[in-house]
């Protein structure tokens, strides 16, 4: 693991927010980087920059090790939860289009597309949508469904010289080694007037502050913990005009919710699983919004 400076201001001074809970193991565990990994509370040291207040993991794994983990990751649970993801992405797209306008054949790139659910949802809504995804398994899963998802990152040679009307990053920016660099790459991939849409966790939300070290999003795979304020600052530094930032929830099946409860409390999780199974409501999807997830819509100036 390596020491890093703040990704927002570049300074090295920090205070420890929460100590590491890695139990002496610093090796990269590929399973911990699955999107649906239930390893809540297992994380590197979480620190806060003394200069700008940005919260991040430090020390953490090197960029090459991170990319290798994401390349190797497989996640069948995500496939099983596809219905909830589709509902979430339809709601995200509807809200997004209030700012970006409808597809009408315009181009969209989904960064970190995973198995391509948002690419599919956007395509059905009239966007000329494609994605890019580092996981070999996830990209192959998307391609198996006939979706235009490239196996790689924003540095993929297939994207050289291309520009899009919209670039989306759903639950991606918190995972990357250098979020400011990824925003800069997205800026170059956008047409003048194009939109960058970023969705992530809100470390300054009421729920996060109430939960403290038990906030579920403190995990191995999360390296950066944005607030709405620090997100706006980083987007502005990248050259974007930030148009809107606000809380956005998601849809989850009751069976999946019960499994997440188990990760926090095995006893309560067991009761939850028994209840939803007994009532035969495991496949029911519910909107979930604790106010600790948010989206930001930012525009590249004309």
Q: What is the pLDDT of residue 278?
A: 74
Terminal alpha carbon distance of the chain: 41
Burial (0-12, 13-18, 19+ Cβ within 10 Å), 279: exposed
Q: What is the pLDDT of residue 222?
A: 96
Q: Which of 31, 66, 93 is nearest to 179 (CA)?
A: 66
Q: Which of 94, 96, 138 is nearest to 117 (CA)?
A: 138
Q: What is the pLDDT of residue 84?
A: 83
CA distance 44 to 3: 11
Model pTM greater than 0.85?
yes
Q: What is the pLDDT of residue 265?
A: 66
- Predicted confidence pLDDT, tens digits, the chain (302 residues): 999 999 999 999 999 999 999 876 677 889 889 988 878 889 999 999 999 999 999 999 999 999 999 999 999 988 988 888 898 999 999 999 999 999 999 999 999 999 999 999 999 999 999 999 999 999 999 999 999 999 999 999 999 999 999 999 999 999 999 999 999 999 999 999 999 999 999 999 999 999 999 999 999 999 999 999 999 999 999 999 999 999 998 876 666 565 655 656 667 667 766 775 576 666 666 778 889 999 999 999 99
Q: What is the pLDDT of residue 277?
A: 59
Q: What is the pLDDT of residue 80?
A: 85
CA distance 145 to 79: 12
Q: What is the pLDDT of residue 29?
A: 86
> What residue segments make up the domains of the chain, in order of their start?
14-293
Q: What is the pLDDT of residue 260?
A: 58
Q: What is the pLDDT of residue 169?
A: 98
Computed on alpha carbons and rounded to an integer, the radius of gyration of the chain in Å comes to: 19
Q: What is the pLDDT of residue 168?
A: 98
CATH node for 14-293: 3.40.50.150
Q: What is the pLDDT of residue 190?
A: 98
């Amino acid at each position: 693991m390596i020491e890093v400076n703040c990704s927002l201001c570049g300074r090295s001074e920090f205070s420890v927010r929460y100590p590491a809970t890695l139990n002496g193991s610093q090796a990269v565990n590929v399973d911990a980087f699955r999107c649906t990994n239930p390893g809540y509370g297992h994380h590197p040291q979480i620190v806060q920059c003394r200069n700008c207040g940005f919260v991040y993991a430090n020390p953490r794994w090197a960029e090459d090790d991170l990319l290798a983990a994401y390349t190797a990751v497989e996640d069948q649970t995500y496939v099983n939860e596809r219905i909830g993801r589709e509902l979430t992405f339809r709601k995200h797209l509807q809200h997004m289009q209030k700012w970006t306008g409808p597809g009408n054949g315009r181009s969209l790139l989904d960064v970190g597309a995973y198995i391509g659910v948002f690419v599919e949802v956007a395509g059905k809504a009239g966007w000329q949508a494609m994605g890019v995804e580092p996981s070999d398994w996830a990209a192959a899963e998307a391609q198996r469904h006939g979706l235009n998802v490239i196996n790689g990152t924003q540095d993929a040679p297939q994207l050289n010289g291309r520009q899009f009307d919209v670039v989306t990053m759903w639950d991606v920016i918190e995972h990357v080694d250098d979020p400011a660099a990824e925003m800069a790459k997205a800026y170059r991939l956008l047409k003048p007037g194009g939109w960058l849409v970023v969705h992530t966790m809100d470390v300054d939300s009421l729920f996060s502050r109430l939960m403290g070290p038990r906030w579920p999003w403190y995990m191995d795979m999360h390296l950066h913990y944005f607030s709405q304020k620090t997100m706006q600052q980083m987007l502005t530094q990248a050259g974007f005009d930030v148009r809107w930032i606000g809380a956005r929830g998601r849809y989850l099946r009751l069976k999946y919710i019960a499994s997440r409860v188990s990760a926090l409390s095995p006893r309560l999780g067991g009761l939850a699983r028994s209840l939803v199974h007994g009532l035969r409501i495991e496949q029911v999807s519910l909107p979930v919004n604790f106010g600790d997830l948010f989206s930001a819509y930012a525009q590249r100036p004309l």
